[in-house]
Structures are given as C-alpha cells and as structure tokens.
Amino acid sequence: MEQLQGTVAIITGAASGIGRSTAISLARAGVSIIAADIDEAGAAKVAAKINSTDGAAFGVRCDVATVDAFEKLKDVVFDRFGRIDIVMNNVGVLTSGRPDELPVTEWERIFQVNLLSVIRSNAVFLPLLIAKGSGHIVNTSSFAGLLTYAFDRLPYAAAKAAIVQISEGLALYLRPQGIGVTCLCPGPVKTNIMSTTRIFSSDLDVRGPGPQFDLIEPDSVGDMVVDAIRTNKFMLFTHPQVRDLLIERATDFDAFLQKQIDAPHIIIKRSS
Ligand SMILES: NC(=O)c1ccc[n+]([C@@H]2O[C@H](COP(=O)([O-])OP(=O)(O)OC[C@H]3O[C@@H](n4cnc5c(N)ncnc54)[C@H](O)[C@@H]3O)[C@@H](O)[C@H]2O)c1
C-alpha cells in the first residue's frame, strides 16, 4: 500500500509498546486508527495523543481472547471510520516456566491470546479485504517463533512459530489478490511485556537470543512497520542480524542446539 493517507487501521495491543508506537507512526502517515486494547484507559490515552496532533483515532476496550472480539471491532471501525484497510494483530503475552512446570491451562491461555486471536481476526477481516481487493495485514510474531534459544516459554514460542506459518501462507494466498501481509518478528524491544509475564518456575534464569541484539526503543519499530506496509515487505526483523543465526541454525541444527546448551545468553538471573 504505497498510499496510506486516508486509510484506516485496527491495531490490537495498541495501549503499550510496539502497538502504541505503530499506532502513532501510522497516524503520522495519515492513517485513522482504532486503538484496541484490554487496557481501556491506555487505549484511550493513545487515541487522545494522536487526536491532539492532527491525527484521527479512537480507543476501544477489547479482549482479543474473547470469541466475538473482532466482530465488535468490525462494528466499531465501520461506525467510526466507515472502512478498514490495515489490520495489525499485535497482542502477545509471555509466560515463563520449565516445560514440566507449566500447566496445560497456561498453554490454553497463551494460545487463546496469542494465536487464536489472529485466527479470529482473519475470520472477520479477510473476507472484507478480499472483497475490496486491497489492504494489508500485519501479524506480530517474534524471534522466538523463528529459532529456539530458550525452553522456558514453549507456549509463547509455539504460538509465535504458528503465526510465522499462518502469515507466510496468507501472503501466498493474498498477495496475488492485492493484499499485503507483513510478519513482524521483533527481537528485544523495551516495552512492558516482562511486567505482565506469568512466572511458574521462580528459580529459572531467563535466556535471550544473544548479546548481539540490543534492547531497542519501540518508537523505531512503529516506523519500520509503516515502511513495511508501504513497500509490501513480508518478513520484518527489528534486528536484521538475526539472519546470521537463522543461517547458522539451518546449516547445522545439532551444532546450533549444542551451542545454546553450552553457552546460554542469560538476560535475567534467578538461580542462586
Ligand atoms: N518487547 C519485545 O521484546 C518483543 C519481542 C518479540 C515479540 N514481541 C511481541 O510484540 C507484541 C507487542 O508486545 P509489546 O512488547 O509491545 O508488549 P506490551 O506488553 O508493552 O504491549 C502489549 C499490549 O497488549 C495488551 N493486551 C494484553 N492482553 C490483551 C488481550 N487479551 N486483549 C487485548 N489487549 C491485550 C496489553 O494491555 C498491552 O497494552 C507481542 O505480540 C509480543 O509477543 C515483543
């Protein structure tokens, strides 16, 4: 979508972090925004910030884990702005625990919030975008969906890997129909995600993808997403050097796995 001025976007998880920064960057490019978040006050605050700077936005409470969340969002977007062009499925929550200490109910929660939300969003918005033959979908995955550097967040990583697959398959299907798909794969970004992480193994160190990946500010990610929509870029890495790790892993899976076991990159030390 080279021309963004006058288009309309829904962004989930827009009250904080990457969703918030993308809402602000898209608004700056002339896109009207529905900022959807379970944090109603936060969503309203982002909308107010955009509205105070010549943009147009509306904040709405939305729990993406509920069955009718996206039908309701569809009603809101048509009521407020009369059209939909860009859908960013961005909500993600983290969990942390050894594979044998994470309850099945936590798998269910993470899949509901992180994965089934994307599927429900597609069920509502794909037919609309296909019918008009234009638009763009952005799905937020993670480095955790591309490669394995930790064992404490299996439901999160599995959901994010599924999002990569869904996004790529959708791109195959939708690009010939005039609709773009971007799979955003962030590395470490300074947001509030750790503050809402549920912890099931209190003595477990938290591993990161590697010391070469700086913790970046979310503001720059919003601009990257705008650029990806404009240029119809499919795979969007916040830290392009992740390609080196992907090549290393694909070249020798066993050696890559052994390296992670022998020299994990600890970002939070919890063991004594
Ligand atoms: N921050 C990182 O380092 C990083 C790395 C890789 C991927 N990601 C992904 O980026 C996306 C955005 O995360 P972030 O880092 O900006 O986190 P964040 O916690 O700052 O923002 C997430 C937002 O989602 C909202 N939210 C949570 N549950 C919700 C629900 N059920 N319904 C609606 N809204 C809900 C929260 O209220 C919050 O405003 C997530 O998908 C996350 O997995 C983040």
| Predicted local confidence at residue 272, as pLDDT | 78
> Which has the closest alpha carbon to 114: 35, 13, 229?
13
| pLDDT tens for each residue of 153-179 | 999 999 999 999 999 999 999 999 999
How crowded is residue 221: how many other Cβ atoms within 10 Å of its Cβ?
23
Distance from chain centroid for Cα 41: 21
Cα of 144 to ligand 1 centre, how many Å? 14
From residue 135, alpha-carbon distances to 31, 32, 84, 123 in Å are 12, 14, 8, 15
| Predicted local confidence at residue 207, as pLDDT | 94
| pLDDT tens for each residue of 34-43 | 999 999 999 9
Give the atom of ligand 1 at the shortest distance from the alpha carbon of 190: 1
- Tokens found for residue 102: 């994470």
3-state secondary structure of 188: coil
Topology (CATH level 3) of domain 8-268:
Rossmann fold (3.40.50)
Give the atom of ligand 1 at the shortest distance from the alpha carbon of 194: 19
Question: Which of 28-32, 250-254, 267-271 shows the lowest per-residue confidence on average (mean pLDDT)?
Answer: 267-271
- Give the Cα separation of 67 and 65 in Å (integer): 7
Q: How confident is the model at residue 63 (pLDDT cuts 50, 70, 90)?
A: very high
| Predicted local confidence at residue 81, as pLDDT | 98
What percent of the chain has a predicted confidence (pLDDT) above 90?
Answer: 98
Cα of 215 to ligand 1 centre, how many Å? 15
Ordered DSSP codes for 9-21: EEEETTTSHHHHH
| Predicted local confidence at residue 115, as pLDDT | 98
- Give the Cα separation of 27 and 47 in Å (integer): 10
The residue whose two tokens read 């993470």 is: 110
| pLDDT tens for each residue of 178-215 | 999 999 999 999 999 999 999 999 999 999 999 999 99
- Give the Cα separation of 112 and 116 in Å (integer): 5
Sign of CA dihedral 86, 154, 172, 126: negative
| Predicted local confidence at residue 10, as pLDDT | 99
Q: Which residues are catalytic?
A: 156
| pLDDT tens for each residue of 213-242 | 999 999 999 999 999 999 999 999 999 999
Cα of 217 to ligand 1 centre, how many Å? 14
Q: Ligand 1: which residue has its CA nearest to atom 44?
A: 186
Cα of 93 to ligand 1 centre, how many Å? 6
Pocket of ligand 1 (CB under 6 A): 12-13, 15-19, 37-39, 42, 62-65, 90-93, 113, 140, 142, 186, 188-189, 191-193, 196
Q: Ligand 1: which residue has its CA nearest to atom 25?
A: 13
- Tokens found for residue 26: 């898209």
How crowded is residue 234: how many other Cβ atoms within 10 Å of its Cβ?
15
Q: Is the pLDDT of residue 16 over 90?
A: yes
Q: Is the pLDDT of residue 102 over 90?
A: yes
Q: Would you list the domain boundaries of the chain?
A: 8-268
> Which has the closest alpha carbon to 94: 42, 163, 153, 160?
153
Q: What are phi and psi of 8, to 5 degrees?
A: -130, 135
Residues 6+ apart with CB under 8 A from 86: 1, 7, 8, 9, 10, 26, 31, 135, 136, 137, 138, 229
Best mutation site among 182, 191, 198 for ligand 1, i.e. most ligand atoms within 8 A of its Cβ? 191
Cα of 58 to ligand 1 centre, how many Å? 19
- Give the Cα separation of 79 and 94 in Å (integer): 33
Give the atom of ligand 1 at the shortest distance from the alpha carbon of 143: 6
Q: Is the pLDDT of residue 249 over 90?
A: yes
Best mutation site among 11, 24, 37 for ligand 1, i.e. most ligand atoms within 8 A of its Cβ? 37
Q: What are phi and psi of 235, to 5 degrees?
A: -95, 120
Q: What mean pLDDT value characterizes the chain?
A: 97
Give the atom of ligand 1 at the shortest distance from the alpha carbon of 69: 32
